[in-house]
């Protein structure tokens, strides 16, 4: 079977930055360590007044296509995953294609376009759609462009305000991919939940504490479902486990789940048995509540062991390096986590070719998906080509007053005109409204 997966990625961060311990925490009267240690965040990326989900998505896609030497004719499908859409009918992918047609010869009239929605998991669902389209043999030799783009803004004063972010990830899905091959096995955990939603409103209604519990419950189910189809998983083959990362503190909790499920029945458990006993098994308990209590107790002891901390530092922590500096990118977040892991491996000179990553995606509402990926032999060149560090360094550092202004600019209910904090350079910008209320864009050289 021909390998299908992600051939290349590009990341585009919002051009502004909000320093959480330095600017946000003092303004909120909070201890900066709540951000750096509790939530695990140093900063959030923010969109400048001329940026939105279309400009960030189109900029990431433009850079990706240029770097890979692609023309519109090479792309048979453009899917945008977002939970920040501004149009209930016309998909964001048509706006993105319109932008790209300004800078490439040719157009995308032949390409199937769509928009995927299921909160943050929609980016991975779009990846799955592209995979299935190629596997079904409908791609006629073309690749798919999957773009996960969001402005993750919360109402001012909402607890979620601490975990905001803005950015896009563009992914090229092809046969014989350089970066990672996707496996066919998937595990799901899905239920009708009310943890985070936007019923015809721009800023989310969130039950923050509950959303954390729902994330963990669905992720556990997805891991169990994955185990039932994947058979024996050998932890020594697992290089990284990138999870959806609304904030790194969330992944600290998910890491325990990953450990329990991925390292099951292995030497690691044997090593730990003398120290903290064996992982509880469902069949040894009469009722579910007693089993869950035993699991919780095991997890609490596990967290304190050196063996677990070593495993966490090697397998999970490297997935968080970019997220710490940018906050939540919703649909792009798990794809940023994958990129962080690969980038760390490159910096450490690790040979990852042929290694496995277990990817844990989550979307509120709620659904989790687990799948495996095998790192391809062109991964180093692809990751080396990313300019994410330069982009992060170039962001304009917002003062509190700047932050309030730019938040208002992006609030659809307010009509405020604010200066740009940065000068656009070789990128798409929002250029006002058209006669039917559509958003318009232009490329700035």
| Residues carrying an active site annotation | 83, 120, 244
- Packing angle, helices 306-315 and 267-276, rounded to 10: 140
Pairing of strands 180-190, 165-175: unpaired
Q: Single out the segment in contact with ligand CAA by CB under 6 A; choices: 28-36, 96-104, 219-227, 256-264.
A: 28-36
Helix H or strand E segment including 238: strand 238-240
Give the CA distances from residue 22 to residues 30, 163, 398, in Å, rounded to whole numbers and listed in that order. 11, 15, 11
Q: Which residue is nearest to ligand CAA (CB)?
A: 38
User: Stretches 26-34, 225-233, 268-276, 408-416: which one binds ligand CAA (CB under 6 A)?
Assistant: 26-34
Q: Which residue of 28, 38, 205, 303 would you call a contact of ligand CAA, by CB under 6 A?
A: 38
Q: Which listed residue (27, 33, 66, 347) binds ligand CAA by CB under 6 A?
A: 33
Q: Please say which residue, 215 or 240, places its beta carbon nearer to ligand CAA.
A: 215
Quote the tokens at residue 337. Answer: 């986590």
Q: Which residues of 335-356 are buried (b: 16+ CB within 10 A; e: fewer)?
A: bbbbbbbbbbbbeeeeebeebb
**Closest separation in Å from C-beta 234 to ligand CAA:** 29
User: Binding to ligand CAA (CB under 6 A): which residues in 306-335?
Assistant: 328, 330
Does residue 361 belong to the site contacting ligand CAA (CB under 6 A)?
no
Identify residues 199-228 at the interface with ligand CAA (CB under 6 A): 206, 208-209, 211-212, 215
Q: Which is nearer to ligand CAA, 13 or 328 (CB)?
A: 328
Residue 423, classified by CB atoms within 10 Å of its CB into exposed (0-12), middle (13-18) or buried (19+), is exposed
Binds ligand CAA (CB under 6 A): choice among 4, 6, 11, 39: 39
Question: What kind and span of H or E run contains 381?
Answer: helix 379-384
Closer of 163 and 344 to ligand CAA (Cβ): 163
What DSSP state is assigned to residue 120? B
Candidate list 118, 312, 362, 421; residue touching ligand CAA; CB under 6 A: 362
- In the range 178-197, which residues lie near ligand CAA by CB under 6 A? 196
Of the candidates 432, 429, 407, the residue with the CA atom closest to the CA atom of residue 418: 407
Q: Which one of the spans 157-165, 335-343, 344-352, 421-429 is the region binding ligand CAA (CB under 6 A)?
A: 157-165
Distance CA 437, CA 58 (A): 20
Tell me: does residue 25 bind ligand CAA (CB under 6 A): no
Give me the least distance between CB of 179 and ligand CAA, in Å please. 24
Q: Tell me if 120 contacts ligand CAA by CB under 6 A.
A: yes
Of 282 and 309, the one with the shorter C-beta distance to ligand CAA is 309
Eight-class DSSP state of 243: B
C-beta of 244 vs 439, nearer to ligand CAA: 244
User: Looking at 108-217, which runs of residues are DSSP E strands?
Assistant: 112-116, 143-152, 165-175, 180-190, 196-197, 205-206
- Decide whether 12 or 215 has the Cβ nearer to ligand CAA: 215
- The CA-CA-CA angle for residues 353, 359, 362, to 5°, reads 160
* Closest distance to ligand CAA from the beta carbon of 396 (Å): 24
d(CA 55, CA 441): 8
By beta-carbon proximity to ligand CAA, the closer residue of 65 and 122 is 122
Name residue, tokens 């590009």: 10
- Please say whether the beta carbons of 346 and 384 come within 8 A: yes
For ligand CAA, give the closer residue by CB, 218 or 410: 218
Residues 6+ apart with CB under 8 A from 88: none
Least distance in angstroms from the C-beta of 153 to ligand CAA: 11
Joined tokens for residue 199: 């019923």
Tell me, by CB under 6 A, how many residues bind ligand CAA: 27
Least distance to ligand CAA from the beta carbon of 172, Å?
Answer: 24
Closest CB 190 distance from ligand CAA, rounded Å? 14
Decide if residue 42 touches ligand CAA (CB under 6 A). Answer: no
DSSP state of 118: B
| Rounded Cα–Cα distance for residues 162 and 109 (Å) | 41
159 contacts ligand CAA (rule: CB under 6 A): yes
CA 42 – CA 242 distance, rounded (Å): 19
Q: Hey, which residues between 74 and 113 contact ligand CAA (CB under 6 A)?
A: none
> Which range binds ligand CAA by CB under 6 A, 3-11, 91-99, 224-232, 247-255?
247-255
Distance, in Å, from the CA atom of 325 to the CA atom of 16, rounded to the nearest integer, reads: 11
3-class secondary structure, 62 = helix
Looking at beta carbons only, is 34 or 90 nearer to ligand CAA?
34
Distance between CA atoms of 322 and 337, rounded to whole angstroms? 7
Q: Which residues bind ligand CAA (CB under 6 A)?
A: 31, 33-34, 37-39, 120, 159-160, 162-163, 196, 206, 208-209, 211-212, 215, 244, 246-247, 249-250, 328, 330, 362, 364
């Amino acid at each position: 079977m021909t390998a299908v997966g992600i051939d290349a990625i590009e990341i585009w961060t919002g051009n502004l930055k909000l320093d959480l311990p330095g600017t946000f925490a003092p303004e909120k009267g909070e201890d900066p360590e709540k951000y750096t240690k509790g939530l695990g965040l140093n900063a959030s990326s923010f969109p400048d007044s001329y940026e939105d989900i279309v400009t960030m998505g189109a900029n990431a896609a433009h850079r990706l296509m240029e770097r890979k030497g692609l023309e519109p004719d090479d792309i048979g499908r453009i899917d945008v995953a977002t939970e920040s859409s501004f149009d209930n009918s016309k998909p964001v992918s048509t706006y993105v294609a319109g932008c790209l047609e300004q800078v490439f010869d040719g157009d995308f009239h032949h390409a199937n376009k769509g928009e995927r929605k299921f909160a943050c998991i929609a980016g991975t669902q779009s990846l799955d759609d592209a995979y299935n389209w190629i596997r079904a043999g409908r791609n006629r030799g073309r690749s798919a462009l999957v773009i996960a783009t969001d402005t993750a803004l919360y109402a001012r004063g909402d607890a979620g305000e601490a975990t905001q972010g803005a950015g896009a990830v563009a992914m090229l899905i092809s046969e014989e991919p350089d970066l990672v091959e996707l496996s066919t096995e998937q595990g799901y955990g899905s239920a009708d939940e009310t943890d985070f939603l936007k019923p015809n409103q721009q800023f989310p209604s969130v039950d923050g504490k509950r959303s954390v519990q729902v994330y963990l419950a669905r992720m556990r189910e997805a891991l169990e479902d994955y185990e039932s189809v994947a058979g024996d998983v050998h932890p020594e083959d697992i290089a990284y486990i990138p999870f959806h990362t609304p904030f790194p503190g969330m992944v600290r909790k998910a890491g325990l789940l990953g450990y329990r499920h991925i390292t099951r029945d292995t030497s690691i458990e044997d090593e730990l048995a003398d120290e903290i006993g064996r992982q509880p098994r469902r069949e040894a308990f009469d009722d579910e509540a007693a089993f869950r209590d035993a699991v919780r107790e095991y997890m609490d002891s596990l967290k304190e062991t050196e063996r677990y901390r070593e495993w966490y530092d090697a397998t999970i922590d490297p997935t968080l390096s970019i997220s710490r500096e940018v906050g939540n990118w919703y649909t792009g977040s798990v794809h940023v986590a994958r990129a962080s892991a690969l980038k760390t491996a490159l910096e450490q000179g690790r040979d990852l070719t042929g290694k496995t990553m277990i990817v844990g995606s989550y979307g509120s509402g709620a659904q989790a998906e687990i799948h495996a990926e095998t790192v391809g032999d062109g991964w180093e060149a692809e990751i080396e080509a990313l300019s994410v560090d330069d982009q992060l360094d170039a962001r304009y550092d917002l003062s509190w007053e700047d932050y309030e202004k730019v938040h208002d600019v992006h609030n659809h209910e307010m009509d405020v005109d604010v200066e740009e904090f940065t000068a656009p350079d070789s990128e798409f910008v929002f250029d006002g409204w058209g006669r039917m209320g559509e958003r318009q864009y232009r490329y700035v050289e």
